[in-house]
Structure 1
Amino acid sequence: MAPPNVIEESIRHRIVLQGEPQTKSNYEQGYMPMDFTIKEIRDAIPAHLFVRDTTKSIMHVAKDLITIAAVFYCATFIETLPSLALRIPAWIAYWIIQGTVMVGPWILAHECGHGAFSDNKTVNTIFGWTLHSALLVPYQAWQMSHSKHHKGTGSMTKDVVFIPATRSYLGLPPLEKKNQDDLSELDHHHDHEESIFAETPLYTLIVLVLILTFGWPLYLIKNMSGQEAPHWVNHFQTIAPLFEPHQAKNIFYSNCGIVAMVSILTYLSIVFSPLTVFMYYGIPYLGVNAWIVCITYLQHTDPMVPHFRDNVWNFQRGAACTVDRSFGKIVDHLHHHIGDSHQCHHMFSQMPFYNAVEATKHLKAKLGKYYLQDDTPIAKALYRNWRQCKFVEDEGEVVFYKH
């Protein structure tokens, strides 16, 4: 094999391969889907880590709610500060902190949807419905669509979200065939359509801010980034491919939760003013949305993450093609380690979240080079992946993002 070309350090530490570092083209060409069975992977993790403890889960809810209440209480003193120069940074600090803390209950509701919160389905439903409704998330509806995502992760046809666009879908010219032995030529040709997407950094930044702020509600309302459908698809009515008619009852329960929360917010707006509700709840809510979009996007979108055609896809291969990344010790703790133990979560979504970090150590040892982790700074990774992950080729059993 030809000597590897020099590659940037951010790619070097994301490729876990035997031997010397390789170029991205070499990595793609040499990629072989893993052959582990899901049983082999599960047997590598101690059995006690799969045991759920309802009391422990509820304590996590209590801790999150107490933290939110404490941050809220501190914010009630902001308007007593003597000058606008003090109040403005104080409000900004509140919005950032509260938006970050409020992701915790969002994650716990998500765990309820997987059955990882408790062995008792009723407990899962009560806590999941309450917490998600409080954050304007349709609990049962998203639970069902999210389940489909987990069952089809990494598949070009079975997944319902984070499905790469293909070259032909974007209307790009066909890929010209090059000498497969000329790695440097392939590396250059890999990016030959980059000029089509060559936005300025400012444009990219604006788009990212808009996606982070409104991407989540747009996914719920119009299935943005989900499977393409011939008609309007959303999480509030029974429409395929997300739902089927027999699931209408669950959609109704989800909608009731949203209506109840909107009613509460309307009442509080009447009592305290719409501006007050927006300042204390609305802006942190947008912060929660930004966190969720950022976390999930970076978990499933990366130049080194493969996607599979149907004839080579299976559940464990798709589950392994998710990226673990830390957001810092404090944020990881507040977010119940959904970012740095996500591959484990995809492998075993009913494992209690508080055991996922320890289980990840065993998973990493078992998967070896198939364990994907990226320690690129979050802002840099978000910008890089948005610029580099544009489409995949129409042909190939295993495909990687191109730009």
Structure 2
Amino acid sequence: MASESVQEPSKVDPSSYTMKEVYAAIPPHCFQRNTLLSLAYVLRDFTFVFILGYIAIFHIPSIQNQTLSTLAWTAYSFCQGLVFTGLWELAHECGHGALSKSKWINNAMGLVMHSFLLVPYYSWRLTHSTHHKTTNNIEKDIAFVPQIKEDYIEERAARGKFMKTMELAQDMPILALLELVGHQLVAFPTYLLINNFALPRMAAIPWWKRSHFYIGGDGPNFKPRSTREIIVSDIGIAVAVSALWIAVQFYGGWNVMKVYGFAYLWTNHWILTITFLQHTDFSLPYYSSKSWTFLRGAGSAVDRDFGFIDRFLFHGAISTHVLHHHVARIPFYHAAEASKAMQGVMGKEYRSDFKTPYLWAFWKIRSTARYVEEVDKGSEIYFFSRSKVTCT
């Protein structure tokens, strides 16, 4: 069912299906993880990285025309960013144990791939697990948690003239675009550093204790028993950053930026876009702890279409995310088949929007979905409002 034909908020009922029915509907072979096949995809994506890197290092510099050279570097960073994002998704598979039956292989490959992309593997895996266990629970989820209308109004009133300026900027497309570009460049590293996606709930906690790199054991995200894993993640990032620093010493900062840095920024953009659109839509309900259930949360995602890029490079992460929140250990190469089988069980509770162009959906939703509110008072079920609140 397309997202634009989703039930009215006041008609959101308890889930009409069970996880037992989901498991029964999915063909048994879809649950099988083929280590060799998974590693072949990892090898394929790293091969793409090296081929593109080889072209960038040994061929693009020989282009004499400045305009053509700039276009070539731009095309390279865009394409390499797509491949990096595919590797990111494979590392994400590792975090769910979906790459292999072997826990050691999952963790080793996940650590390598995520560290390569400057993501702390174990700590991100732990916070991401929290997201899966609390999806669209506005009191407990940690990914793209929307503000309730009353909190939204209160924050803007408290910030006065600044928020008035921001509202004016949001109404001017060029300024809104500049704000969006800035967000896409820095928001994901900022999230890793200070875990700000669940603010204001965590606002009273010092930023370093919210960080994915914090090893103190008394922060909100990790228990003391996870400290060793966090240290391993931090070591992985330290190794990757050291490698980049050495490369800068030998080849110069601008060259490293062209070969790795811009592709890395593209990757941040795609990860933010993908995750935002997976869990943000005017059709999606958000719940308080009182109204939330696992199935309600798992069903509060939207499958979308990004064509060849999603199917071939992003490993289907965009088009099969509803399935992923029900059964995360199904490997990506079985996800399309399993998703189709699961849709028969979910019926009208399955949400998708395969009609709206992907990037257009991102622009429209991000520029208009600003807060959620109860449509049916007392239900503790919230939807994004299309109404605009103006600061006075």
| Same fold flag (TM > 0.5) | yes
Which residue of 305, 330, 354 maps to 1:351? 330
Partner residue in 2 for 1:380: 360
Matched-pair contact (CA < 8 Å) for 2:343–2:350: yes
Q: How many residues are treated as equivalent by the alignment?
A: 363
Spell out, residue by residue over 1:300-336, the C-alpha distance to the aligned partner (whole angstroms, 9 max, x if none): 0111111122233111211111011111223431011
Which residue of 194, 213, 217 maps to 1:236? 213
Partner residue in 1 for 2:87: 105
Task: Say yes or no: does 1:120 pair with 2:102.
Answer: yes
Partner residue in 1 for 2:3: 14
Matched-pair contact (CA < 8 Å) for 2:169–2:175: no
Spell out, residue by residue over 1:193-237, the C-alpha distance to the aligned partner (whole angstroms, 9 max, x if none): xx8995322222122111211111011011121253212111000
Letter of the 1:212 counterpart:
Q
Which residue of 201, 213, 227 maps to 2:185? 213
Matched-pair contact (CA < 8 Å) for 1:50–1:352: yes
Q: Distance in 2 between matches of 1:332 and 1:209?
A: 25
Letter of the 2:371 counterpart:
F
SS of match in other structure, 2:101: coil
Matched-pair contact (CA < 8 Å) for 1:319–1:346: yes
CA RMSD of aligned residues (A): 1.9
Letter of the 1:89 counterpart:
L
Matched-pair contact (CA < 8 Å) for 1:45–1:362: yes
The 4+ residue runs of structure 1 with deviation greater than 4 A are: 195-198
Spell out, residue by residue over 1:223-263, the C-alpha distance to the aligned partner (whole angstroms, 9 max, x if none): 12125321211100045321122221111011000000011
SS of match in other structure, 2:286: strand
Partner residue in 1 for 2:15: 34
Letter of the 1:389 counterpart:
A
What 5-or-longer segments of structure 1 have no aligned partner?
1-11, 18-25, 174-194
Which residue of 45, 58, 66 maps to 2:47? 66
1:355 Cα deviation (Å)?
A: 0.6
Q: Distance in 1 between matches of 2:22 and 2:69?
A: 52
Task: Say yes or no: does 1:75 pair with 2:47.
Answer: no
Matched-pair contact (CA < 8 Å) for 1:344–1:359: yes
Q: Superposition pairs for residues 354-365 of structure 1, below 5 Å?
A: 354-365=333-344
1:385 Cα deviation (Å)?
A: 0.9
Q: Distance in 2 between matches of 1:144 and 1:52?
A: 22
Q: Which has the higher contact order (CA 8 A, sep 6+)?
A: 2
Partner residue in 1 for 2:369: 389
Q: Distance in 2 between matches of 1:144 and 1:153?
A: 14
Identity, % of aligned pairs? 36
SS of match in other structure, 1:168: helix
Q: Distance in 2 between matches of 1:274 and 1:172?
A: 44
Task: Say yes or no: does 1:51 pair with 2:35.
Answer: no
Q: Distance in 2 between matches of 1:57 and 1:33?
A: 37
Matched-pair contact (CA < 8 Å) for 2:132–2:325: yes
Q: Distance in 1 between matches of 2:15 and 2:32?
A: 27
Partner residue in 2 for 1:141: 123
Q: Distance in 2 between matches of 1:84 and 1:119?
A: 50
Q: Distance in 2 between matches of 1:246 and 1:339?
A: 33
Letter of the 1:237 counterpart:
Y
Spell out, residue by residue over 1:146-167, the C-alpha distance to the aligned partner (whole angstroms, 9 max, x if none): 0000011021223122211011
Matched-pair contact (CA < 8 Å) for 2:288–2:381: yes
Matched-pair contact (CA < 8 Å) for 1:303–1:388: no
Q: Superposition pairs for residues 192-341 of structure 1, below 5 Å?
A: 199-227=171-199, 228-229=201-202, 230-231=204-205, 232=207, 233-238=210-215, 239-341=218-320
Task: Say yes or no: does 1:151 pair with 2:123.
Answer: no
Partner residue in 2 for 1:181: none
Q: Distance in 2 between matches of 1:396 and 1:384?
A: 27
Partner residue in 2 for 1:4: none
SS of match in other structure, 1:400: strand
What 5-or-longer segments of structure 2 have no aligned partner?
156-166, 387-392
Task: Say yes or no: does 1:167 pair with 2:149.
Answer: yes
Matched-pair contact (CA < 8 Å) for 1:160–1:226: yes
Spell out, residue by residue over 1:56-101, the C-alpha distance to the aligned partner (whole angstroms, 9 max, x if none): 1100100001111111112221110121121011111001111111
Letter of the 1:90 counterpart:
A
SS of match in other structure, 1:162: coil
1:16 Cα deviation (Å)?
A: 4.5
Matched-pair contact (CA < 8 Å) for 2:281–2:384: yes
Letter of the 2:381 counterpart:
V
Q: Distance in 2 between matches of 1:28 and 1:215?
A: 30
Letter of the 2:3 counterpart:
R
Structure-2-length-normalised TM-score? 0.88
Structure with the larger helix share:
2
Letter of the 1:390 counterpart:
R
Cα 1:196/1:398, change in 2 over 3 Å = farther
